[in-house]
Amino acid sequence: MSKRLIVACGSGVATSTTIAEKIKNKFEEDNINYNVEAVDYKSIMSELPNATIYVYIAKPDSEVIEEAERLGVDVFPGVPFLTGQGLDENYEKIVDATKK
């Protein structure tokens, strides 16, 4: 499976696209070659099997978290990319996950 980070929000358009672009830019600055895509939350269960990292906007329900754990998908909050609070620490955790 190719390495793929997904960012999910309700529509897969506004917030998830903004955060996905921020992550892509930071990855480029850090020379990290990793697929980053925005998706809509309604399709998250079908997207998880093809992902290695999942960045969420609104906290996902327990079924989604359990499926991510079962599949070995690392899960991280995306709000720090909007607010800046805890951004560096959160980003470093994501970077660590890209090395698995």
Question: Model confidence over 1-59: pLDDT tens digits?
Answer: 579 999 998 766 789 999 999 999 999 999 999 999 999 999 999 999 999 999 999 88
CA atoms within 13 A of residue 27's CA, in its CB half-sphere: 21
In contact, 37 and 7? CB cutoff 8 Å: yes
Find the mean pLDDT for residues 76-86: 96
Model's pTM, two decimal places?
A: 0.95
What the chain holds in terms of domains, given with CATH numbers, is: 2-97 (3.40.50.2300)
Backbone φ/ψ region at 86: left (φ over 0), alpha (ψ -120 to 50), beta: left
pLDDT at 1: 57
Mean pLDDT, to the nearest integer, of 59-64?
A: 94
**Torsion angles phi and psi, residue 33, rounded to 5:** -95, 105
